[in-house]
Structure 1
Amino acid sequence: MYPKLFQIGPIPVYSYGLMLGIAFLVGNWLFGKELKRNGYDENTGVIIVFLALFGGIVGAKLFYFIEQWNFGSFASLMHYFTFEEMFSASGLTFYGGLVMSIVLIIIYCKVKKLSVLRIFDMMSPGTILGYGIARIGCHLAGDGDYGMPIPQGSFWSFLAMSYEKGTYPTPPGVVVHPTPLYEFAAAFLIFLFLMKIRKNYNVPGTLFAIYLILAGLERFLVEIIRTNPRIILELSQAQIISVAMIIGGIFLYMKNKPKEEELKKTAFANT
């Protein structure tokens, strides 16, 4: 594992931060291509992706600080605002920053009079691919996102990995499910699927709905073999949010389905 790749003067370069930067660039490029294909200004994509990145990092960090802070102690609060802590992988969870990112993008779209759902449609392929790339950063950092131990001789032994040199190391001799790599593979497949079907749907929000369903399902299944604490009904926090994503996606898809069918009938009648 390589949590910190190298250092430039006083500035450490972390593997997670580097992969997050690559995810940002790839997501921005894909979003720009989709904006251009749909007749939007590509510069809009730069602003929206920046808002998503800013909201994702700040929102995740704030959530982490609130969870970890010993209330009443100003000194312990300031610990979380050191340069190294702010730019490390600690607390950079996908769901932690999701809410702030969505809120910032919605506000921007409302100000610029853009269709929020259409923007989310165009962001969906790049978002899931960026998520997968960021998971490679989690793998390189060994930040604790790995899964349960794999017993010797198990069917899954060929997948087993050790994170002894990670930020949150596994015990010596213990091998586990490399769940960040599983998520990268799943995210890449979802990305390919969304890119293949994106031209088949014209009602704003339909592609985003499919993204919500698939991304939520992927995370829910991976959580089964992860060690996150169970909160309600033997479900982890991520699984509860995943269920909400799946339900929201299904609701939006079913709401749009009659409109999609009507558009297809109209297009067929005009041919």
Structure 2
Amino acid sequence: MYPKLNWLSGDTGWIVLIFAFIISFVFFSLYRIEKKKSSKTKSKLYYIFTVLFYLSVAATLVTLITQITGQTVNSYGLMLAIAFVIGVSLLLHNAKRLNIPEGPLLDICIWGVLLSIVGARLFYMLFEYQYQPLGKALLEPPYAFFQNPTAFIDISSGGLVVYGGFLFGITFALIFIKIRKLPLGKVADLFAPVLAMGVGFARTGCNLAGCCWGLPLSSDHPLALALSHFKAEAPVRQFYASQMNMAFESTYVWPAQIISALNGFILFAILLFIYYKYRDRFKFNGLLFLIFLMLYSVTRFLIEFIRNDTDKSFFGLSAAQFIGIFVFLIAVILMVYNYYRIKKPTT
């Protein structure tokens, strides 16, 4: 697809910049109108226009910077930025209903995202670095990090592991929530749909970047994705050309990234529906987050069978599948424990 958004530069970039500026002004006007109409109780339109305004401003700034510097935009990073803006807006909107202060939640979001990126990159360096074309010397894990530590900050060609980001982000959130004495279960439930949505956008970025690819597939399969779908510099093209000696013109693969993105967005819709429809009926706070962990670990476990960018070890399973089994069991244990421990919703 498009690891770099080159169309944001040149004459096309100026056209995009003009339209982005106009759209930003329109959404800002609508945002101001709704803010005046709902000064006390904010309407849904107010939050919708707020998110759209922030997104349009971000698009304007990105395009402007691209035009001035001449640098192309990393599509994966852009998807993460969009997910962050929408996710934070949704999080703060739902937090107001529960009277949870916005400041600590913003701290969790900002620092949590930064530490999640560190964790995702660290897991990649430890477990999967040798399977990606990130330089002339491919190093064996878990020694890649120690032999070439500067590669840790070079994510221009990809290299993030979702579970590593989850573990680092969740660990930080647990410590921060404990220190700030926030309601752990309620905060966890707020983050559940947001995290699922983040997976959807991140995997969309994977599709654009050409990483996290699928196994070879026959061309007549209804889900077959042509390798020509990706740009020449995409890691998937380099992998099949160099390591499997397969011509991109006749190679078809599973659309693993697209399936993973749909999985994230579907989980987001399911969790958001459960939250708004059944939130008052939860037996204990934190239930929705445990549901998210269970659903994601199962779906990720299944999707791993059609991926071809990671090595398989014991029993033909990948590291992500073993982590998924562990996460699923922990979620089940916590759910059973809380059901037996709590007879009524916590306050």
Letter in 2 for 1:38: L
CA separation in 2, counterparts of 1:35 and 1:92? 29
Describe the SS at the equivalent of 1:233.
Answer: helix
The gaps in structure 2 that reach 5 residues or longer are: 10-65, 130-138, 241-246
Matched, 1:152 2:212: no
CA separation in 2, counterparts of 1:31 and 1:104? 17
CA separation in 1, counterparts of 2:144 and 2:344? 58
Alignment of 1:101-250 (within 5 A): 101-143=169-211, 145-154=212-221, 157-162=222-227, 163-165=229-231, 166-169=234-237, 170=240, 171-172=247-248, 173-198=250-275, 199=279, 200-227=281-308, 228-250=310-332
CA separation in 1, counterparts of 2:149 and 2:218? 40
Letter in 2 for 1:99: L
User: Is the Cα–Cα contact under 8 Å of residues 294 and 331 in structure 2 kept in the other structure?
Assistant: yes
- For residue 46 of structure 1, the aligned residue among 102, 106, 110 is 106
Relative to structure 1, is the Cα distance of residues 108 and 160 closer, same or farther in structure 2, using a 3 angstrom cutoff? same
Percent of aligned pairs sharing the same letter: 31
Relative to structure 1, is the Cα distance of residues 55 and 11 closer, same or farther in structure 2, using a 3 angstrom cutoff? farther
User: Is the Cα–Cα contact under 8 Å of residues 160 and 177 in structure 1 kept in the other structure?
Assistant: yes
CA separation in 2, counterparts of 1:191 and 1:254? 23
Which residue of 2 is the match for residue 268 of structure 1? none
The gaps in structure 1 that reach 5 residues or longer are: 265-271
User: Is the Cα–Cα contact under 8 Å of residues 216 and 253 in structure 2 kept in the other structure?
Assistant: yes
After TM superposition, which residue ranges in structure 1, 4 or more long, deviate above 6 angstroms?
Answer: 72-75
Which residue of 2 is the match for residue 25 of structure 1? 85
Aligned length: 256
CA separation in 1, counterparts of 2:145 and 2:292? 41
Letter in 2 for 1:160: L
The Cα RMSD (Å) is 2.5
Matched, 1:77 2:155: no
Relative to structure 1, is the Cα distance of residues 76 and 12 closer, same or farther in structure 2, using a 3 angstrom cutoff? farther
CA separation in 1, counterparts of 2:146 and 2:122? 15
CA separation in 2, counterparts of 1:159 and 1:192? 26
Relative to structure 1, is the Cα distance of residues 89 and 46 closer, same or farther in structure 2, using a 3 angstrom cutoff? farther
CA separation in 1, counterparts of 2:126 and 2:314? 21
Letter in 2 for 1:161: A
Flag the structure with more relative contact order, 1 or 2, with Cα contacts below 8 A and sequence separation at least 6: 1
TM-score under structure 2 normalisation? 0.67
Which residue of 2 is the match for residue 16 of structure 1? 76
**Per-residue Cα deviation, 1:152-196 (whole angstroms, up to 9, x for no partner):** 333xx3442325422331441211111111112122221121112
Q: Which has the higher helix share?
A: 2
Matched, 1:255 2:337: yes
CA separation in 2, counterparts of 1:40 and 1:115? 8
Which residue of 2 is the match for residue 93 of structure 1? 161
Displacement of 1:146 after TM fit? 1.7
Between Structure 1 and Structure 2, whose CA radius of gyration is higher?
2
Displacement of 1:34 after TM fit? 2.1
Displacement of 1:63 after TM fit? 3.1
CA separation in 2, counterparts of 1:131 and 1:72? 26
Decide which moves more: 94-103 or 19-28. Answer: 94-103
